[in-house]
């Protein structure tokens, strides 16, 4: 039980980005605010308008929280910048200002909904919703990428939908590629990837699973579970599996398909210290 609680705390505080959790608040509150203001218009009901006001005020507060956690996670989890981070910071800033202005204006002038400024007021709800929708979409790009629409194929059953694959083409082949170009080099190709993407958790102060990826010798010594590399057999190596199944790096963006494939090819070519 204690072990479970410890793992839970570890996962909540160190593994899961808090931003992903926080973003649902502005999305839900801004959407609810628009819903209630429209209902208030249709029903000519002041109570519904008050609910809309409460929602947009909370949306402003939660936008601030989502923005700050996004900024923090961006600097702690990513090497470099998360996709679209600059655009999202600008849009989040505009969303925060818009929702805050609506809330303050309505708070200072309780009769705003019945004033001549009514359309500007309701327009603000629409604008906030549009902003949060774009932000939510850009956030989704971190997880699922942005893909070209698949070409319509005559082989598909009529009316069938071809879904884009999540994550940029994770079609990593476990078998050796048919014409290994010049052969993958450990020191020139593999080690730089490990050093930039893996050794913050597998080396130095923190050595997850006792797997040290800072050098060839340390890596071949394996983890606390034994060897992680079976030369010539990426599919059955723990390291190959971790990359084929896209489990590593544990946090943040996975390796690009090209980098993952390089390491897989290197294992299949015999995992040489070359």
Dist CA 38 CA 109 (whole Å):
19
Q: Which of 22, 29, 242, 264 binds ligand HEC (CB under 6 A)?
A: 242
187-205 burial string, b = 16+ CB within 10 Å, else e?
eebbbebbeebbbbbbbee
C-alpha separations of 162 from 70, 138, 153, 257 in Å:
32, 22, 9, 21
Residue 40 or 238: which CB sits closer to ligand HEC?
Answer: 238
Asked if 11 interacts with ligand HEC (CB under 6 A), we say no
Q: Are 74 and 142 in contact (CB under 8 A)?
A: no
- Give the gyration radius of the chain's Cα atoms: 25
Which residue shows structure tokens 């390291």?
239
Asked if 233 interacts with ligand HEC (CB under 6 A), we say no
Residue 28 or 230: which CB sits closer to ligand HEC?
Answer: 230
DSSP-assigned letter for residue 202: E
Q: Which of 27, 33, 40, 238 binds ligand HEC (CB under 6 A)?
A: 238
Give least dist CB 153 to ligand HEC, A.
34
Return the bridge partners of 202, or none. Answer: 207
Stretch that binds ligand HEC, among 20-28, 151-159, 183-191, 249-257 (CB under 6 A): 249-257
Asked if 200 interacts with ligand HEC (CB under 6 A), we say yes
Give least dist CB 200 to ligand HEC, A.
5
Please provide the DSSP assignment of 217-269 as one string. HHHHT-BTTB-S--TT-GGGSHHHHHHHTT--SSSSSPPPHHHHHHHHHHHHT
Q: Which of 11, 225, 236, 256 binds ligand HEC (CB under 6 A)?
A: 225
Interface with ligand HEC in residues 54-73 (CB under 6 A): none
Residue 187 token pair: 């020191």
Return left, alpha or beta for 209; rule: phi > 0 is left, psi -120 to 50 is alpha, else beta: left
Give least dist CB 172 to ligand HEC, A.
13
User: Which of 30, 229, 62 shows the shortest CA–CA distance to 130?
Assistant: 30
Residue 124 or 249: which CB sits closer to ligand HEC?
Answer: 249
Asked if 198 interacts with ligand HEC (CB under 6 A), we say yes
Q: Which of 184, 249, 267, 268 binds ligand HEC (CB under 6 A)?
A: 249
Stretch that binds ligand HEC, among 87-95, 164-172, 177-185, 200-208 (CB under 6 A): 200-208
Which spans of this chain sit near ligand HEC (rule: CB under 6 A)? 197-198, 200-202, 208-209, 211, 223, 225, 228, 238-239, 242, 247-251, 255
């Amino acid at each position: 039980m204690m072990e479970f609680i410890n793992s839970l705390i570890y996962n909540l505080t160190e593994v899961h980005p808090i931003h992903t959790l926080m973003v649902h608040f502005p999305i839900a509150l801004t959407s609810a605010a628009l819903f209630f203001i429209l209902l208030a218009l249709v029903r000519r009901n002041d109570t519904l308008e008050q609910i809309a006001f409460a929602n947009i005020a909370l949306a402003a507060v939660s936008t601030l929280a989502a923005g700050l956690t996004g900024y923090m996670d961006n600097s702690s989890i990513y090497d470099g910048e998360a996709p679209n981070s600059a655009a999202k910071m600008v849009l989040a800033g505009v969303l925060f200002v818009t929702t805050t202005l609506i809330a303050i204006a309505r708070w200072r002038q309780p009769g705003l909904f019945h004033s001549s400024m009514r359309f500007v007021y309701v327009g603000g709800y629409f604008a906030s919703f549009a902003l949060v929708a774009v932000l939510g979409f850009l956030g989704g790009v971190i997880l699922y990428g942005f893909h070209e629409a698949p070409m319509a194929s005559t082989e598909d059953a009529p009316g069938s939908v071809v879904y884009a694959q999540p994550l940029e083409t994770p079609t990593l082949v476990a078998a050796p590629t048919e014409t290994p170009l010049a052969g993958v080099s450990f020191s020139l190709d593999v080690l730089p990837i490990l050093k930039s993407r893996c050794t913050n958790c597998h080396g130095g102060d923190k050595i997850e699973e006792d797997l040290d990826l800072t050098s060839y010798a340390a890596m071949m010594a394996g983890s606390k579970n034994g060897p992680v590399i079976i030369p010539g057999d990426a599919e059955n190596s723990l390291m190959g599996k971790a990359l084929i199944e896209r489990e590593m790096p544990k946090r943040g963006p996975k390796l690009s398909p090209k980098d993952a494939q390089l390491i897989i090819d290197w294992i299949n070519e015999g995992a040489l210290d070359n």
